[in-house]
Chain A
Amino acid sequence: MENPYMPYPVRIDDIEIATEDKSLKTFKFVFLNEGDEEKFAYHAGQFAELSIPGVGEIPIGIASSPVEKGFVKFTVFKTGVVTSHLHNMKVGDIMGLRGPLGNWYPWDKLENKNVVIIGGGFAFTTLRSSIIYMLDPANRSKFKNIDVVYGARSPGMLLYRDELFEWEKRNDINMHITVDSTDDPSWKYHTGFVPQIVEQNAPKADQDTYAIICGPPIMIKFTQPSLTQLGYKPHQIIMSLENRMKCGIGMCGRCNIGKELVCKDGPVFTLDEINQTPKEY
């Protein structure tokens, strides 16, 4: 019997400070055992449990992309017991990785569609995974226009800055990077909150356009009206939820919204689906 609680052993291969305030770090892991990377085959949008023996486990969205081989990456905000411990670990340390868990963004349904990606703060991890996946030469032709609205408090709080500015230069993706405010005179992108930038820059909805949004509850709340105004119907708005989790496999009972378990039936839902469940997220 497969043991769904058993993590794959991994080694920390690299740690990168991701934001200027050092509250986020990106961890790169490699699998210790041959064959485990194949077993861990994942889709953009899934998450995993980072498992530190003696400390605990935390659900974290997979930030690397299925088209990147040889490693997996996660970007973690330091907040409580496990995340603080992880921030103190060093390259070479051994820990565990359990997954991949949950569903993913509906890549089949998104083929031949325009995709608008909207992210705020550090909830950009699985969106990075998604963008890398879509821009891969083998996949880019499967999608029509790609727009990205991504905002953070300040320029130094944007995740994956090098990649963002590189995408900005390409002509097969429309980047709309924004910060709440900045006193940097050389800042050449947007300033303003995500909902406002969405309203001004995101394409109007037609049947073939879908939006994926990920961010803090407050951003999601205020972005929805902007999307509605642009003509997006609830089934065209795709969201990823973050309920408190333990098992990640639908058994421990804590992450439900109505009869749906966010860890197993989600974390990705359309707004249409969410509208049919109690709003307990």
Chain B
Amino acid sequence: MKFITIDKKNWTKGIDKSRGTYRLFGPVKDKNWCMIKELDGDILPDMEYNESVMSAKSVLFPQSETILNTSLNESVEDHHIMKRAKNDYTARAVLGIRPYDAKAIQLVKMNFDTKEYKDPYWCDAYEATTFVGMAITKPGPFDFSTSVDSGPFCEEGLDILLADLDDSFIAKILTPKGESFAAACGFDSTIDDKESQALFDILRKEAEKNINCRVETDKLKEKNLLDLHGASFWDDLAFSCINCGTCTYVCPTCWCFDIQDEAKLKESSRFRNWDTCMSPLFTRHATGHNPRGVKVQRVRQRFMHKLKYFLDKYDQGIMCVGCGRCVKSCPVNIDIREVCHTMNTYEKKD
């Protein structure tokens, strides 16, 4: 671990230099939104953005990704025999990823990188990626990351953490991957570790003070899973939901996907797309039978998965990093902070 300082006058030059070795991704303004995109050509990351509508999960887990393909043309050798799609896993870096989004990637990793199976597409992309985080100094009104083991300066999952000091960035280099990226940019003015850490601590405390919302999760673990599932509050809670799925698409920790095949002119591919547990099709059997055919069952599934099943299964906290995106984006104001409170304080009445 070491600190370096980057004069903002040198930032663009450094970033451009790294393009020789890295594909870059980062926040860019898109109409009224900020999105995380590949920084093609000479596009620069917008390091001053507050929040991106979508998280950085797509850098490793694209909304649609080809996984296998093959020819259906019987005169071609190996027709109908599927091969892994040739995707690009050369080194890439995400610039300005928010600490909660980087932490979210660590939670998603528990799903894709397991003892029994490894998802090669996600794992190869993860290996290839350097995460250059941007600390949050002005948390948004929906941010509750400090309640869920993240926070504006959380280092989990990052290779570099940057803090903005008006004319310069201070970069805390956290891993060898971070070191290589800094070197590729030519950023090498080291500064005193102790002083820099002290400055980081002050900035972190300032930022954390601006997060006014606290969500308690401490009692979720001890609650009985079936009691929570059978609780009577779900009907009220789900009443206004229109099952649009927005909350799942914007969420950095939602990883569910669908697999589909496509054939065009004798070339076939199999790809996976983000899916949502809010859709009735998600669980519908060919017979028409549907274990979560009713809206309330699906809303319950989303919150139970995040706040109970995941917690019980991995014992690594809840499946939420407190970014607040789902709260901000929900058209009918369904608020995970309130749901979490309801679940955390639930007592079964006999």
Contact = CB atoms under 8 A, between A and B. Distances in A.
Contact of A80 (B79, B81, B286, B301): B286
Nearest to B260: A56
Interface string A243-281: 110110111111111110000100000000000111011
Nearest to B309: A259
B341 interface: no
B274 to A, nearest CB: 10
A251 B72 contact: no
Size band of the interface chain B makes with A: 35 or more
Contact of B283 (A1, A6, A217, A254): A254
A126 B236 CA distance: 42
Contacts of B257: 246-247, 251-253
A152 B123 CA distance: 46
Contacts of A5: 67-68, 119-120, 259, 270
Given A243-B283, A246-B258, A249-B117, A280 B82 contact: no
A9 B117 contact: no
A51 interface: yes
B198 interface: no
Contacts of A3: 84, 120
A4 B313 contact: no
A2 interface: yes
B80 interface: yes
Interface in A176-221: 217
A250 B117 contact: yes
A147 interface: no
A57 to B, nearest CB: 7
B309 A258 contact: yes
Contact of A251 (B111, B124, B285): B111
A94 interface: yes
B119 A251 contact: yes
B118 A217 contact: no
B117 A253 contact: no
A65 B268 CA distance: 32
Interface in A77-99: 79-80, 83, 93-96
Interface string B251-263: 0000111111111
B261 A251 contact: no
Contacts of B312: 259
B309 A54 contact: no
Interface stretch (B96-104, B142-150, B186-194, B289-297): B289-297
Interface string B156-168: 0000000000000
Q: For A54, A55, A80, A94, which residue has the most chain B Cβ atoms within 10 angstroms? A: A54
Nearest to B310: A259
A264 B116 CA distance: 10
Contacts of B313: 259
B116 A53 contact: no
A5 B70 CA distance: 14
A1 B256 contact: no
B75 interface: no
B261 A6 contact: no
A253 B255 contact: yes
Contact of A250 (B80, B116, B301): B116
A78 to B, nearest CB: 10
Contacts of A234: none
B259 A252 contact: yes
A32 B80 CA distance: 12
Nearest to B314: A259
B213 interface: no
Nearest to A246: B259
Nearest to A57: B259
A32 B262 CA distance: 24
B277 interface: yes
B258 A1 contact: no
B204 interface: no
Contact of B268 (A54, A57, A242): A54
B193 to A, nearest CB: 37
A130 to B, nearest CB: 23
B262 A280 contact: no
A10 B116 CA distance: 24
A231 interface: no
A16 B149 CA distance: 58
A219 B120 CA distance: 40
A6 B117 CA distance: 12
Contacts of A255: 283
B229 interface: yes
Contacts of A94: 79-81
A94 to B, nearest CB: 4
A100 interface: no
Given A253-B257, A256-B309, A243 B72 contact: no
Interface of A: 1-7, 9, 32, 51-57, 79-80, 83, 93-96, 217, 242-244, 246-247, 249-259, 264, 276-278, 280-281
19 contacts: A1-B120, A2-B117, A5-B67, A6-B84, A7-B82, A53-B270, A95-B80, A96-B82, A217-B289, A246-B258, A250-B117, A251-B111, A251-B117, A251-B255, A253-B257, A253-B275, A258-B225, A276-B225, A278-B304
Interface of B: 67-68, 70, 72, 79-82, 84, 111-112, 114, 116-120, 123-124, 225-226, 229, 255-263, 268, 270, 272, 275, 277, 282-287, 289, 291-292, 297, 301, 304-305, 308-310, 312-313
In the A-B complex, the 7 residue pairs with the smallest Cβ-Cβ separation, listed nearest first, are A54-B268, A54-B263, A253-B256, A259-B309, A94-B80, A280-B291, A80-B286
Given A253-B257, A259-B309, 10 more contacts: A2-B118, A5-B67, A6-B68, A9-B81, A53-B80, A53-B270, A244-B284, A254-B256, A259-B308, A276-B225
